Structure 1
Amino acid sequence: MENETTNLFRRRDTFFGICEAVGQDFGFNPLWLRLAFIAPLFFFPVQTFAAYFALGFIVLASRLLFPNKAAAAGQAALTSVEPAARAEQPAEDFALAA
């Protein structure tokens, strides 16, 4: 299975992908950050949304200022492979499930 990297804003399972992006940047499970936003949401909803979108602005600024060079190089490598070269690669045979 290929690792598909989609835009965080286009995914259906995230709300702007802010917690997911912070989790990727710092190497932890984004579920912990999502859980940290639940309790304050009930007591301070305006401040919680303001903090969430401020964190999103920080993530956006960091992604624009310091792009991930490995992901960009991988994306460039995928687009540079011609379809004819992909067809020449041998296909793996998988056993049929019974």
Structure 2
Amino acid sequence: MTDHTTTPVAAPRDNLFGVCAALGEDFGFNPLWLRLGFAVALLFSLEKVLLAYVALGVLVLVSRLLFPNRVRTTATAVPATVANEADEAEYRQAA
């Protein structure tokens, strides 16, 4: 059997200060869309995009410092005992 573990959407080494990931987590959307928006905007104005990114980074930093214990929603996983019992019943039928 394989062990199914959940991993974050992007590892910390894949983020540039985690601004898009934090905003996506806070507002409930996939941060890839924000990253794509920044990438397209970079074609037009580097200075404005960098300024907007830094401003959003400061906003995320301030919000995380002011509200450090905010409860984040996580996906609920099927308990391992239920999944194992279902697998065992299936294996018994197959045998």
- The 1:69–1:51 alpha-carbon spacing in structure 2 relative to 1, beyond 3 Å, is closer
Residue 43 of structure 1: SS of its match in structure 2? coil
State the alpha-carbon separation in 2 of the partners of residues 25 and 33 from structure 1. 13
State the alpha-carbon separation in 2 of the partners of residues 4 and 65 from structure 1. 27
Cα RMSD (Å): 2.3
TM-score under structure 2 length normalisation: 0.61
TM-score under structure 1 length normalisation: 0.60
Q: Tell me whether 1:11 sits opposite 2:12 in the alignment.
A: yes
Alignment of 1:29-44 (within 5 A): 29-44=30-45
Q: Which residue of 2 aligns with 1:68?
A: 69
State the alpha-carbon separation in 1 of the partners of residues 20 and 69 from structure 2. 17
Letter aligned with residue 34 of structure 1: R
State percent identity of aligned pairs: 51
Instruction: Please list the CA deviations of residues 14-73 of structure 1 after superposition, one character each: whole Å capped at 9, or x if unmatched.
Output: 0110000000000110000001101111110011000001000000000101123436xx
State the alpha-carbon separation in 2 of the partners of residues 69 and 16 from structure 1. 20
Q: Which residue of 2 aligns with 1:88?
A: none
State the alpha-carbon separation in 1 of the partners of residues 69 and 42 from structure 2. 32
Residue 61 of structure 2: SS of its match in structure 1? helix
